[in-house]
Structure 1
Amino acid sequence: MNVPIIDPLQGDFPEVIEEYLQHGNMKCIAFNRRGTLLAAGCADGSCVIWDFETRGVAKELRDKDCIAPITSVCWSKYGRHILASATDKSLTLWNVVNGEKMARVTLQQTTLHARLHPGSSTPSFCLACPLSSAPILVDLNTGSSTVLPVSVSDAGNGTTAPHPRNKFSDGSPPFTPTAATFNKYGDLIYVGNSRGEILIVDSKNIWVHAIIPISGGSVVKDIVFSRNGQYLLTNSNDRVLRVYENLLPQKFAAKELEAISSNDNEFQGIEKLKVVGSKCLLLFREFQDAVTKIQWKAPCFSGDGEWVIGASASKGEHKLYIWDRAGYLVKILEGPKEALIDLAWHPVRPLVVSVSVAGLVYIWAKDHTENWSAFAPDFKELEENEEYIEREDEFDLMPESEKAKDLDINQDEEIDIVTIEKDSAFSDSDASQEELCFLPAIPLPDVPEQQDKCLGSSSKLEDSNHSGSPFSIEAAQNGQAILPASSPLEVVGNSTAEEAVETSSLKRKRKPSAKGMELQAEKGRKPSTKIKLSGKSSKSKNKHGDGLDTNGSVLEDDVTDDYL
């Protein structure tokens, strides 16, 4: 769907379930950057790639070493790679084009969410959020990992380091089931902790530059950036969704943040980090259900960042809440009685895709009202009666408005059909020549058992055709249709009268009666002579089909035709 033709008065958000996708037991989903392909991780360890335009399976990525359920899938910037995390503590990088496994790394704990570095076309780093430890920055080429800080100490010279309290016996950070994400270009990492804080970490030197405290101090469960990188969405354990405005520039945000931190020498330690954080993020809006106070799951922005959507985390509910960025609840979508486990908004179109606990993927779209009336191009449909004031020259044969029009068209101007205009929905569409938008359709081969059956049946058919009468060959040479040899019409329909006489022995013979045997025993009988045994000689057949006249006599013509 083209973005400019969407009616802005109807609201570009979904309303009803359009259809659903089914392929195994799907657990998580993710769109590529253009929204043409949809990746889904399944419970059997495979990744299914759907062609979202045709709603067909374009490719299936399967690893024999991984049969554990997939917890998250993530596309690379240009859509040529997919990163999948599984419950067997593995991270697998796939090449989407040829379906080959590029890298596989096994961590110490199960990864809930994994994100590829968005700044490079050939990703080598990823951000993993394990179940019971701090987020980890993983090098997919070497397999080395770096634990990110989740808190800072206010001792000594104010340097930042992971907090030493409540460590596990193996020296890992404390239990922090929180989230982390890259910014738009991957030079900064935003980490949430169990204290209700957002830490801004430099992805190169793993240095905390700022802290943003969240009101309520609850555990941060989700952190999501909008596509344009201007807004940040957080989901906390206090049942509130918060939207922050990003005050840092999109490009070279790490250098700008370092400059802000070096220029501010008035405060030290944590106070300095909080002051710098106030110059990075600004609380824009809060979203919550004041009546039910439900927990939220899988919140995200719309493709243009104008809408915020969150799913109910209650068991057995498949409800989607949609707010506009101003904070008003505009729609509540109710789906089937199946719990929701994942959610994704289409990058360009007003479509939402949700995954239920049953493994089905539901596609939510707008409820379009079709109007097939044949109106004039300039016809305007009115909702109610309006008083119309006509122009002075509206019904003139040559209106003055048309006379005043001058043709400013330069017919000699060359039309440029080569240059591609930038899509307003993508800020860096000029740098995406190598982007993968579609996958070629590969036909699936038949099952070998079915091929053997087909070959066997065809060979039998050929044998039956070749084992037929010799007249089928002549009929084929004469351009006549060849019927199967088992058909009694082959002899009659594909042969001449002489051939029919020669092949009369192929006809089914009737069992002769006693009177017929007596007649055959007689000698000197002519074939064309009718023998009248008794009664009248009117020729007819009784209900049994025997050649008898009305008085029970046998007719010789019938005898000669049937028994000779």
Structure 2
Amino acid sequence: MNESLFNPFTISHPSAIQTSLVSGASFARFDPSGKLLVAGRPDGSGVVWDLDTRAAVRWCEGHVKGVTAVEYVHSQSNHPAVSIAHTCSWSRNSRFVLTASKDWNIIIWDLASPSDPPRRHATIRFDAPVVTASFHPRNSRIILALLSTGEAYIVDLRSTHRGRFELGGEDEGDEKRPIMTTARFDPTGRYAFAGTSAGTVEVYNVRTKMLVGRHRIAGAGVIKGLEFANGGRRLATNSSDRTIRQFTLPAYPTPPEPHTTGESSKLSISETELEPTHRFNDPISKVSWHGMSYSPDGEWLAGGAADKAAHKIYIWDISNDGQFASALDGGREPLLYVHWHPRGPRLASTTTQGDILIWHCPSPERWGAFAGGFEEADENVWYEEGESEFDLEDEVELAHRKKLQEDEGVDIIGGIDDSQPPTTANEVGLPDVDFEWADEEGELDHKDWRMKLIMVDGEEGY
């Protein structure tokens, strides 16, 4: 499969539907390469689509109930109501697909296996329905899972660290602990963020499983979703007050080793109230949001509206002070989820009827771009020839000038700004204990893995 090439300097936002995939799914997510797309279905199966051929290439059938995530909506009772959606997760190099289900199981599928459905790499069972789960960004053997009971666990499948660790399970206090409503790894994999029903965001160090930060978001209510821009410094939250907020995250202290005694762990917790840099909402219809997603460069934010009568996606320009850019209309079928392509201006959104809409940014063909130095003319004009424009040039002088250009030094690094001093241990070349811990025992998801394609007529290929 040839990967589509995108110019990172001309990335814009999608504006039109390119194609529609009839998948019967309520959740769809691009893989990190942007070549594949996985869809979660209510019947418990997951479907892997090849975006180049627009064909289903793998069926992950193993759950007895729907592949699920959870979305918490506001209610008048002490506990938030639950609305079921569907989710899957990709490993870093797309070899493994994770599906979580209401049947209390997480299944990790190996797409490098030659069979269809793919071989089960691992099955993790809990004591309650699993509402969302995801891979660690650096190691597919580390899983973050959220249960319907409001508990979040880090599951480590490595032999030297094997275990199931509850986040916040050792917290003590007189006040009743709020339940966790959403949980995400940050893009670096150093922290796990959890939104709660009390309108707070808790930050845990993944290596030590210790709480390093707690942020209160004024007026937010129940935190329904978390989304990070690439790099992990910007966080967007979706809450029950029907407002998407963007924050710039502070630096968190390095916690002590786990199971140490003393007061040092309590003193290292950063408890602050985050002040949003931007607020996004629909001031007219006051709709809530089913999902949100950043563009690869972090300059655009898409929000899927929970409109019961239309399929609406709102896009804001983060680079232009968060100004509203456009609203995409996908018809009368309501939206369930939205995800931005990891490499360019494309979106995937799902409808209540199970269709997956692929959005793109159409660009008109400019034939003048095929001839360097020429420009397109809107109408016929008289061309005035320059005095020496078509004169023959001395071949010896031309060859000498080309040789001088070839001898010039080439900056193969380019773009590195040495004016700003490094701020982290990783940038100055020092070891990072969190990254070293995550990289232990290696990663099975190598870049050189290949997926066997099984054709309808029985033929096989790669």
Question: Do these two structures clear the TM 0.5 threshold for a shared fold by scoring above it?
Answer: yes
Identify which of 188, 191, 199 aligns with 1:188: 191
* Secondary structure in structure 1 of the residue aligned to 2:225: strand
Letter in 1 for 2:19: E
Please identify the structure whose Cα radius of gyration is greater.
1
* Secondary structure in structure 2 of the residue aligned to 1:109: coil
Cross-structure match for 2:419: none
Matches within 5 A, 1:541-552: none
CA distance in 2, matches of 1:352, 1:242: 21
TM-aligned CA distance change 1:284 to 1:404, over 3 Å: farther
Matches within 5 A, 1:169-188: 176=179, 178-188=181-191
Cross-structure match for 1:33: 32
> How big is each residue's C-alpha offset from its partner over 1:161-203, in whole Å with a ceiling of 9 and x where there is no partner?
155655xxxxxx65x3521211223221112112222211122
CA distance in 2, matches of 1:59, 1:254: 43
**1:109 Cα offset (Å):** 2.5
CA contact (8 A) 1:339 1:357 kept: yes
CA distance in 2, matches of 1:78, 1:335: 31
Cross-structure match for 2:277: 284
Tell me if 1:407 matches 2:397: no
CA contact (8 A) 2:368 2:374 kept: no
**1:403 Cα offset (Å):** 7.2
**1:129 Cα offset (Å):** 2.0
TM-aligned CA distance change 1:397 to 1:347, over 3 Å: same
TM-score by length of 2: 0.73
CA contact (8 A) 1:178 1:220 kept: yes
CA distance in 2, matches of 1:328, 1:383: 33
Identify which of 318, 323, 330 aligns with 2:325: 330
* Secondary structure in structure 2 of the residue aligned to 1:407: helix
Matches within 5 A, 1:56-455: 56-63=55-62, 66-71=63-68, 72-98=87-113, 99-120=118-139, 123-140=140-157, 145-149=164-168, 161=171, 165-166=175-176, 176=179, 178-248=181-251, 255=254, 273-274=269-270, 277=272, 283-325=276-318, 326-371=321-366, 376-381=371-376, 393=387, 395=389, 397=391, 406-409=400-403, 434-435=446-447, 439-445=451-457
Report the number of matched residues.
395
Displacement over 6 Å in runs of 4+: 267-270, 383-388, 402-405, 410-413
> How big is each residue's C-alpha offset from its partner over 1:391-445, in whole Å with a ceiling of 9 and x where there is no partner?
9745573689x979952437999xxxxxx999x9xx99xx999226763322234
CA distance in 1, matches of 2:450, 2:194: 34
Structure scoring higher RCO (CA < 8 A, sep ≥ 6) equals: 2
CA contact (8 A) 1:51 1:438 kept: no
CA contact (8 A) 2:212 2:253 kept: no
TM-aligned CA distance change 1:113 to 1:268, over 3 Å: closer
CA distance in 2, matches of 1:77, 1:331: 31
Matches within 5 A, 1:422-501: 434-435=446-447, 439-445=451-457
CA distance in 2, matches of 1:436, 1:20: 30
Cross-structure match for 2:21: 21
TM-aligned CA distance change 1:164 to 1:76, over 3 Å: farther
CA contact (8 A) 1:247 1:282 kept: no
Cross-structure match for 1:501: none
CA distance in 2, matches of 1:107, 1:194: 22
> How big is each residue's C-alpha offset from its partner over 1:126-160, in whole Å with a ceiling of 9 and x where there is no partner?
1112233132223457995333229xxxxxxxxx8
TM-score by length of 1: 0.61
Query: What is the percentage of aligned positions where both structures have the same residue?
Result: 26
> How big is each residue's C-alpha offset from its partner over 1:203-231, in whole Å with a ceiling of 9 and x where there is no partner?
23322122222121421111111233232
CA contact (8 A) 2:337 2:349 kept: yes
Cα RMSD after superposing both structures: 4.1
CA distance in 2, matches of 1:162, 1:353: 42
Greater helix share, structure number: 1
CA distance in 1, matches of 2:370, 2:187: 47
CA contact (8 A) 1:223 1:232 kept: yes
CA distance in 1, matches of 2:388, 2:444: 51
Unaligned runs of 5+ in 2: 69-86, 258-262, 417-426, 428-434, 436-442
**1:351 Cα offset (Å):** 0.6
